[in-house]
Structure 1
């Protein structure tokens, strides 16, 4: 089917959108149908660069390499939502208008009957090497764990999520001061970016190319500031 003619799409959620509190209550998106699904070609990773000291690493997908399954790298499970085209646009807009993620079409397997179905999902817009991944926050992982439990994802996968290391902030006055000074600058920048997404996104929920270029410059400036300047004095805000 021509993608431009689709009135309904299967969207595969593997992160915080698995949680009903996020997807249906906060974002007001009502799926037409919900299925537990698995994408065997990809695994869950945390290669979406977030904000140091708050949410350093966010969930993404990467293709499983040959031989990785033998060392415990398994496929990603999640929730496939059948959405109207309008609700799919709202998902894209709610995920930042394409500034961090891009939409791809992959093959998913529905767990109820083993049937295969093409689904749309979100992966990192940039290829980030696994050595550069940052830890997710405990707050973020709690959303994934809760969503996996609500949707009755396979128990081994729920245990895998529960075992994922998270960013733990040191409890010290110096560290807290460093976080405050970092947030004083970069949280304001984050607020401006979020406002810009709302203002400039198109009918499909995406922002224009010039906005993406500006976002990339700000994102890498923030992380260079953290890695090579701020963390040298106040401590790291990414769990590394």
Structure 2
């Protein structure tokens, strides 16, 4: 079978960018379409960007992530149908930043392609792709991830019809069994649990950390080392943010196979109680 339009004929990974070149182009079809996200969350300066099309490829959601929350991420795969195409954003990066992005996108491999900008200009670039067996199913992505894709596509000015199709991508919703486990978790009173003392494991508050991820903030640059104050549900912007945090809770409960909560972070529980008391007092 011949390689699809835009793909290298051998379908082998492209070599790292040459140090003799100052810049390289990377074709973003997922979160890398969002220039603001690439600069603020990933920390790379985008020196130029162009709306473009990669023909002979298709967008899939078969790169699986953490279950019950980030079930899948976008993937670009060669297609046997020459009519298939992916709209995205070609971003211009320094060689140094491109190599760092390679490490960050290590779930994929770099493939050399030629994309066509909306003005007809052809751009030699690379795309991140992960070969998957045909039987590997697609899964719905998280609402957070799809929001990053759609907002990036719209702000970049991608084709309106393509953006609307992208916006209709199904997103993950918890099952009845997961919601039942979550409901049981809500019924546990923190003060009913046994107090545990220990100072050897300095962890992080998952609620605050995943709230930052939902809001597109860098987790490393905004690391509070798990110290209060915490971002409780009362401080969250909307129900969608709270639901995303709950889905991460679902993920950990499901992985551990727990029947319910085993402990609360005492500082978090105390802050939540203070906020509830203040709210009741002001009513």
* Alignment TM-score, normalising by the size of structure 1: 0.65
| Higher RCO (CA-CA < 8 Å; seq separation 6+) | 1
Q: Which of 146, 150, 153 is 1:145 aligned to?
A: 150
Partners of 1:155 and 1:60 in 2: CA distance = 21
For the 8 Å contact 2:182–2:250, the answer to whether it is kept is no
Partners of 2:47 and 2:171 in 1: CA distance = 34
1:56-99 deviations in whole A, cap 9, x for unaligned?
Answer: 11100112223765xxxxx111111111101101212222xxx4
| Structure 1 position 115, deviation (Å) | 1.4
- Structure 2 gap ranges (5+): 1-16, 186-246, 257-283
Q: How does 1:198-213 map to 2 (within 5 A)?
A: none
Q: How does 1:1-240 map to 2 (within 5 A)?
A: 3=18, 5-66=20-81, 75-95=85-105, 99-111=106-118, 113-124=119-130, 126-129=131-134, 132-170=137-175, 172-174=179-181, 183-184=251-252
Partners of 1:40 and 1:46 in 2: CA distance = 18
Partners of 2:254 and 2:175 in 1: CA distance = 20
Partners of 1:156 and 1:116 in 2: CA distance = 22
Partners of 1:101 and 1:36 in 2: CA distance = 22
Q: 1:164 to 1:182 in 2, by over 3 A?
A: closer
1:108-138 deviations in whole A, cap 9, x for unaligned?
Answer: 0011x201111111001x3232652212111
> Max radius of gyration: which structure?
2
| Partner SS for 1:132 | coil
Partners of 1:148 and 1:135 in 2: CA distance = 19
Q: 1:56 to 1:80 in 2, by over 3 A?
A: same
| Partner SS for 2:59 | strand
**Mean CA deviation greater in 58-67 or 132-141:** 58-67
Cα RMSD between the aligned structures? 2.7
Flag the structure with higher helix content. 1
- Structure 1 gap ranges (5+): 70-74, 189-240
For the 8 Å contact 2:56–2:81, the answer to whether it is kept is no
For the 8 Å contact 1:57–1:134, the answer to whether it is kept is yes
Partner of residue 200, structure 2: none
For the 8 Å contact 2:19–2:95, the answer to whether it is kept is no
